[in-house]
Every structure is written in C-alpha cells, then in structure tokens.
Structure 1
Amino acid sequence: MAPQLDLIGTVVTDMARTLDFYRRLGVDVPAGAEAEPHVEITLPNGLRLAWDTAEMVRSFHPGWTTPAGSPRANLAFRCADPAEVDRYWKELTGAGYHGELPPWDAFWGQRYAVLHDPDGTGVDLYAPLAGN
C-alpha cells in the first residue's frame, strides 16, 4: 500500500487567534482547544487538520525555526457557491485577517479568493461559477 495523505499540520504562534480564523470558516474546533499546544480535528471528508505551537514543535525538533517569505502551500476550502466565497472573504477580512487576493472570477471557471491565516498560511476559498 502506498502512503496516503491523512493529516495536514501547521505551526502557529497564537493558537487562539488561529482557531478563531478556522472556526469562522466553519471548521468544527472543540471549545477550549485554544489552551492546548496541539489541536487535531477530523474534517467531514476524513482528512485530519492539526495545529501545533512553535514551543510544541521545538520540544521534539529543537532546531526548528520559523519559515520566512511567502507560504509554499495553501489550504483550499471549497465553498457552496460564489456568494459564499464573497461572504467568507468579507467576514474574515472584516475580523482583521489578511486578505491576499480579493474574490475574482478566475479563467478556470471558479470564484476564487486567497486569505492568510494568522501565521501566513495561504487559505484559498473557491466555488464553481455557474455552468462549470
């Protein structure tokens, strides 16, 4: 059997702020999780998403340092329709989160937007345009 993608993990500097961001996207994060150094949830599609504080990562990888520059990976969230892309964009940027690229109708047939979570991880929002 080949390895299967099972979990996506990111390192965070402010667990509470990060979990607030993902809760606003509708991710079901348990209450009180913001006090933990490691938080892991299973999404409805079975994929697991996890967040670790930098201190937690350094507890088993003492040489770990915060990456610099633009993110090399983005998490992409499919929305129900183009209006939902716009709604989440407005809600998250209105709450003070960084909007990298405002919603637009992409040439590949999707309404698309790019945000950053509190640690700079790219978070894409997308939905098929009518007829696609």
Structure 2
Amino acid sequence: MGKPVLDAVAVSAHDIERAKVFYTLLGFDFEGEGAFVSEDHVEPVRDDGAPRLMIDSAALMEKLTGEAPRAPNHASFAMLCDSPADVDAHAAAIAAAGFTVLVAPWDAFWGQRYATVMDADGYRVDLFAPL
C-alpha cells in the first residue's frame, strides 16, 4: 500500500473575489496557466509537487455538507517566507489591504520570525521564516 501525500488544503469563502485578493497577497496566482476559476470553486496555479489551495464558496459547501461552514479557531496552515523581512512585508501588505493581522510579526523563541494573519472568512495563515 502506498503512502498518502498531502494534495490539497481547502477553505471556504463568502466572497470568492475577496478571498482571491487575500491569497494573492500571499503569492498565489489565480490568473496564470493552470489556475482554475469558477463561480463556486477556485484554485491558483500549482507549483510542481506543491499542495493545491482550494477555495470553495460558502454556499457550495453548505449545499454539499448540509451546514454553513465555520472557519476554525484552532487550525491553520503555514507559509514559509524567504526571510524575516518578508514575514514583516507580507503582514504589512495584508494589514494595508484591510485584512486582520492576529499576531504581529515577532521573533519566536524557536528561532523563526512568525506572524498570524486571517482571511475575510476567519481562516488563519501563519507566516514564518528562519531567523
């Protein structure tokens, strides 16, 4: 039996266009070749070997699951940045675009520059880089 591989991370959004703005600020490309964009589901260009980011409309998820989606307050995913300065720059760009920075960039005791940001639907994304 083969080992399963992480293929995708999924979030839902009440406003797909607003979600695309947020995730574009983190470097995702929704316009390039290989991106999938529909009214209820979008996926940015996927780098070779990288997991997919899937964004489904909240309406579609409610139809599929029978209940309104709720963003988790205990789960997130993390984005490795090129440098500590990039962590700061991404957090600043997200704040300037009107999104929430939950935890401002700081030098964590485990040796990383770390920040936590939140998309418009409440999904948390950690930004980090080795110090």
Coarse TM-score class (shorter-chain normalised): 0.7 to 0.9
C-alpha distance in 1, partners of 2:64/2:97? 34
Work out the number of aligned pairs and report it: 127
Runs of 4+ aligned structure 1 residues displaced above 6 Å come to 31-34
Aligned match of 1:49? 53
TM-score by length of 1: 0.86
The yes-or-no answer on 1:28 pairing with 2:29 is yes
Q: 1:117 aligns with which of 113, 116, 119?
A: 119
Aligned match of 2:3? 2
- How far has the Cα of 1:34 moved from its partner? 6.7
**Does the CA contact (< 8 Å) of 1:98 and 1:116 recur in 2?**
yes
**Does the CA contact (< 8 Å) of 1:16 and 1:35 recur in 2?**
no
The yes-or-no answer on 1:37 pairing with 2:40 is yes
- How far has the Cα of 1:71 moved from its partner? 2.0
**Does the CA contact (< 8 Å) of 2:36 and 2:44 recur in 1?**
no
Aligned-residue identity in percent: 39
- Where do residues 1-132 of structure 1 align in structure 2 (5 Å cutoff)? 1-30=2-31, 36-44=39-47, 45-61=49-65, 63-67=66-70, 71-129=73-131
Instruction: Give the letter aligned to residue 122 of structure 1.
Output: R
Between 37-46 and 25-34, report the one with greater CA deviation: 25-34
**Does the CA contact (< 8 Å) of 1:12 and 1:53 recur in 2?**
yes
**Does the CA contact (< 8 Å) of 2:87 and 2:115 recur in 1?**
yes
Structure-2 change in CA distance of 1:33 and 1:13 (3 Å): farther
**Does the CA contact (< 8 Å) of 2:87 and 2:127 recur in 1?**
yes
TM-score by length of 2: 0.86
- How far has the Cα of 1:123 moved from its partner? 0.7
Deviations 1:48-84 (A, max 9, x none): 11000011123332x222327x523112111100000
C-alpha distance in 2, partners of 1:93/1:34? 26
- Alpha-carbon RMSD: 2.0
Specify the SS of the correspondent of 1:83: helix
C-alpha distance in 1, partners of 2:92/2:37? 24
